[in-house]
Amino acid sequence: MNEMTFQVERFDGIKLDSIRMLSTSGLEYTPLGPPALALEPVLPERAVQVGDTFEIGYSLKNTGDVPANDVAVGLIYPQEGFRLLGETPHSYASVPVSVIGSFRLTAISPGTHQVLLGVESSSGQPAAQIQAVVHPPDKRWLSANLVWLWVALSGLLVGVAMLALSRPIGRVLKSNRSWTRD
């Protein structure tokens, strides 16, 4: 059941005897209920480290009887903690049943950061406060990659050295081809 309630406050001693709703007031009777928006964040499944690119997703559902119009889903985040890849907010002309989306970010500093995922619409403004934990880079991963980098560079240097030495050796081999054995 839809219900409308008014609250009248007194202002500088003004007294109201009655309130009338006129036919031109813009109110309309309908058996349908208004839109009702519910926002559910979708968070990364793995721990986020500095340098990682990840997504904060969302599912926005309308459980009301009519579509929600002119809906925007936005993300408020600390710029010292993250870099947004893309645009915010995401705008939807109409949300009849549901929409899903995501914001892509890169973590740039470790720590616990407060992020707000929210909706702006005339049909409600649901929001979700998110504590985003960003871990420092994994030093084991860094060490393992440095070892592979060292191995690759060593192989490259050996290859360059062999190429450089192959020219004089090739000349010696070419000159030795004319030798005959007794």
* Ranges of each domain in the chain: 37-135, 138-173
For residues 11 and 40, give the distance between their C-alpha atoms in angstroms, rounded to a whole number: 41
The pLDDT value recorded for residue 168 is 53
B/e letters for 132-161, b = 16+ CB within 10 Å, e = fewer, are bebeeeeeeeeeeeeeeeeeeeeeeeeeee
The pLDDT value recorded for residue 14 is 73
The pLDDT value recorded for residue 180 is 38
For residues 127 and 38, give the distance between their C-alpha atoms in angstroms, rounded to a whole number: 9
Helix or strand run (H / E) with residue 142: helix 139-176
For residues 102 and 43, give the distance between their C-alpha atoms in angstroms, rounded to a whole number: 10
Q: Name the pairing type of β-strands 127-135 and 48-49.
A: parallel
For the full predicted model, state whether its pTM sits above 0.85. no
The pLDDT value recorded for residue 161 is 59
The pLDDT value recorded for residue 181 is 40
Q: Does domain 37-135 have CATH number 2.60.40.10?
A: yes
For residues 173 and 182, give the distance between their C-alpha atoms in angstroms, rounded to a whole number: 19
Per-residue pLDDT of the chain (182 residues; tens, 9 = 90+): 567 776 766 666 677 777 777 777 776 677 888 899 999 999 999 999 999 999 999 999 999 999 999 999 999 999 999 999 999 899 999 999 999 999 999 999 999 999 999 999 988 899 999 999 999 987 655 555 566 666 666 666 665 555 566 555 445 444 444 443 44
Cα 182 off chain centre by: 80
The pLDDT value recorded for residue 53 is 95
